[in-house]
């Protein structure tokens, strides 16, 4: 059996930062939207040495290794070893949840290969892998709360062309959250509840004033050059210029998708993506 699927990157159309929980994670309110910038994953029979993950360009273990191990443990599946190959296009450590997207895609592949396709089980496994992973099990648009593990589907897709401007130097997510704490950026519980109420009232499509990333000052503090990129993307006509997740990738959200394409040549290595829905995570036989 050979199966393939795409792993769409995500953008945070908004990200409001709340207090630290007992488990060390921050409470969040965020709208996540999958976009057409994707990794590609293939599952095929493995060798005699057990399950294997191949991901050229990424050193060491990744979330796909963990996804396979946790899937087998949670479902009791003892099928033959599998090999999952990952073809990367999403920037690594760029704030677009590439690792989480790959883990979500791997769970879809494993579910189809094993016949264990209970969505609640997959979501429980995903939550154990990381806060961004549950939203990536089924691509599309979600409102995420908690540390990102509590998700509510939001109909449709965001109405933007998305200019993606990557950075040559990545940022580690834990470092950005620590810097946010040092800067005193997190809201208190009441402030986060107010943000949630404002987002709920505005959905499905947020006005520009709610397209805010409250991790952005921390990312810019660690990487001051990001400020210049934000300014340049805004000057290129973006309706919203913002850091993607924990950064350092910068996004330009353009209500006119043609304007996003026109702006791209001014930024080396930039790509233009569009919001996508669940069909972008279909599992296909090859």
User: What φ, ψ does residue 102 adopt, rounded to 5°?
Assistant: -65, -40
Give residue-wise pLDDT tens across range 48-97.
889 999 998 676 568 999 999 999 999 999 999 999 999 999 988 788 98
Active site residue 175: no
Q: How many domains does the chain have?
A: 1
pLDDT of residue 83: 97
Give yes or no: 10 in active site: yes
> Which of 39, 66, 102, 132 is flagged as catalytic?
132
DSSP string, 207-252: -GGG--BTTHHHHHHH-THHHHHHHHHHHTT-SEEEE-TTSS-EEE
Cα 39 from Cα 159, distance rounded (Å)? 22
Query: What CA–CA distance (Å, rounded) separates 169 from 72?
Result: 35
- Residue 94's domain is classified under what CATH number? 3.30.230.10
Catalytic residue among 10, 39, 51, 66: 10
In three-state secondary structure terms, 198 is: helix
What pLDDT is attached to residue 59?
63
Q: Give the domain extent around 31.
A: 1-286
Whole-angstrom CA distances from 148 to 102, 104, 195 are 17, 14, 15
Three-class DSSP category at 98: helix
- pLDDT value at residue 131: 86
Is 271 a residue whose pLDDT tops 80? yes
At 47, is the pLDDT very low, low, confident or very high (cuts 50, 70, 90)?
confident
* CB proximity list for 180: less than 8 A, separation 6 or greater: 17, 26, 186, 214, 215, 217, 218
pLDDT tens digits, one per residue of 182-226: 999 999 999 999 999 999 999 999 999 999 999 999 999 999 999
pTM over 0.75: yes
154 within 8 A of 137, measured Cβ to Cβ: no
Mean pLDDT over all residues of the chain?
95
Rounded-to-integer distance, Cα 245 and Cα 35, Å: 14
């Amino acid at each position: 059996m050979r199966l393939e699927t795409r792993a769409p990157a995500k953008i945070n159309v908004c990200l409001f930062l709340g207090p630290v929980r007992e488990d060390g994670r921050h409470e969040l309110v965020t709208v996540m939207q999958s976009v057409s910038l994707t990794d590609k994953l293939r599952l095929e029979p493995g060798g005699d040495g057990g399950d294997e993950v191949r991901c050229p360009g990424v050193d060491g273990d990744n979330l796909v290794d963990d996804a396979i191990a946790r899937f087998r443990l949670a479902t009791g599946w003892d099928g033959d070893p599998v090999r999952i190959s990952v073809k990367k296009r999403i920037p690594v450590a760029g704030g677009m949840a590439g690792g989480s997207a790959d883990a979500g895609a791997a769970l879809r592949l494993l579910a189809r290969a094993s016949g264990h396709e209970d969505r609640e089980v997959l979501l429980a496994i995903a939550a154990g892998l990381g806060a961004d992973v549950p939203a990536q099990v089924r691509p599309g648009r979600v409102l995420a709360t908690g540390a990102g593990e509590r998700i509510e589907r939001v109909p449709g897709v965001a109405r933007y062309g998305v200019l993606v401007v990557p950075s040559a130097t990545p940022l580690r997510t834990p470092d950005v959250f620590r810097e946010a704490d040092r800067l005193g950026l997190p809201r208190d519980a009441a402030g986060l509840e107010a943000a949630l109420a404002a987002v709920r009232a505005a959905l499905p499509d947020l006005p520009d004033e709610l397209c805010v990333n409250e991790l952005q000052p921390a990312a810019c503090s660690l990487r001051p050059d990001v400020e210049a990129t934000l300014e340049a993307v805004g000057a290129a006509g973006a309706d919203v210029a913002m850091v993607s997740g924990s950064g350092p990738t910068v996004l330009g959200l353009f209500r006119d998708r043609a304007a996003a394409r026109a702006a791209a040549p001014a930024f080396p290595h930039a790509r233009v993506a569009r919001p996508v829905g669940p069909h972008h995570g279909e599992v296909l036989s090859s």
